């Protein structure tokens, strides 16, 4: 678990203005950045006829889905979590259905959000189809792996930070070089690379 405090000080006199829980700020920042990235990088839905899939029904998926709902619409949500009760509660809150496996989510969804602690790949190339969009949040430290190496190699891979991902994130954990990434999210936002 991540615990800490963010101190906001006045730029004028240094007075302490606020204390913020860093875990909450981090969850919101990560979730909303993932929602923005998903909306920018995923194909536009045809008349909102899109299925969104969620693998990992925790705080990160909650905030990502809430942010994504403000940016685009979809007609169906399918959810999987290792805890069936958590998946059911998430699906109820967001009007979705529960899938028994990550592969079932991928089989049904156009856009898949993965936010887990997995140390084994949850999706393999055989689970996916061309044009499908994946947003993976979980491989943020050594050993964590949500996507199989063949998925990372075959995708147009946009990363948040190429150095970070190549040193101890998704690429490092899959044994792949930084050059596997096509671009960074910042490059896409600045118009320096296509989505």
pLDDT at 163 over 90: no
First to last CA, the chain: 33
Domain membership of residue 22 (yes or no) is: no
Domain membership of residue 174 (yes or no) is: yes
Q: What is the CATH number of the domain that holds 121?
A: 3.40.50.720
Domain membership of residue 1 (yes or no) is: no
Total count of residues recorded for the chain: 195
Query: Which domain does 161 fall in, by range?
Result: 30-189
Q: 48: left (phi > 0), else alpha (psi -120 to 50), else beta?
A: left
28 burial (CB, 10 Å; 0-12 / 13-18 / 19+) is: middle
Average pLDDT, the chain: 93
170 vs 175: CA distance, rounded Å: 9
Domain membership of residue 143 (yes or no) is: yes
The domain total for the chain is 1
pLDDT at residue 27 in the model: 87
b/e string for 52-69 if b means 16 or more Cβ within 10 A? Answer: bbbbbbbbbbbbbbebbe
pLDDT at residue 23 in the model: 86
Domain membership of residue 11 (yes or no) is: no
pLDDT tens digits, residue range 7-60? 999 999 999 999 999 988 888 999 999 999 999 999 987 766 799 999 999 999
pLDDT at residue 48 in the model: 64
pLDDT at residue 49 in the model: 79
- Mean pLDDT to the nearest integer, 160-170: 86
Domain membership of residue 10 (yes or no) is: no
pLDDT at residue 165 in the model: 86
* Percent of all residues in the chain with a pLDDT value above 90, rounded to a whole number: 77
Residue 186, helix vs strand vs coil:
helix
pLDDT at residue 47 in the model: 67
pLDDT tens digits, residue range 147-156? 999 999 999 9
Domain membership of residue 15 (yes or no) is: no
Nearest to 77 by CA among 36, 128, 118, 113: 113
Looking at the DSSP bridge assignments, the partners of residue 98 are 79
Binned at pLDDT 50, 70 and 90, residue 2 comes out as low
Domain membership of residue 195 (yes or no) is: no
pLDDT at residue 195 in the model: 87
């Amino acid at each position: 678990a991540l615990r800490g405090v963010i101190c906001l000080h006045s730029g004028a006199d240094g007075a302490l203005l606020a204390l913020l829980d860093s875990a909450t700020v981090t969850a919101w920042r990560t979730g909303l950045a993932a929602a923005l990235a998903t909306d920018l990088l995923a194909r536009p839905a045809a008349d909102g006829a899109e299925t969104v899939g969620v693998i990992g029904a925790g705080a990160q998926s909650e905030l990502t889905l809430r942010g994504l709902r403000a940016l685009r619409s979809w007609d169906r949500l399918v959810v999987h979590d290792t805890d069936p009760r958590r998946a059911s509660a998430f699906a109820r809150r967001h009007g979705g259905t529960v899938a028994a496996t990550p592969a079932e989510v991928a089989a049904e969804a156009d856009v898949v959000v993965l936010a887990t602690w997995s140390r084994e790949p949850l999706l393999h190339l055989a689970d996916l189809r061309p044009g499908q969009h994946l947003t993976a949040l979980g491989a943020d430290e050594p050993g964590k792996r949500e996507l199989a190496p063949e998925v990372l190699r075959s995708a147009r891979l946009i990363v948040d930070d190429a150095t970070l991902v190549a040193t101890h994130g998704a690429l490092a954990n899959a044994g792949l070089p930084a050059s596997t990434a096509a671009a960074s999210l910042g490059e896409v936002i600045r118009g320096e690379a296509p989505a």
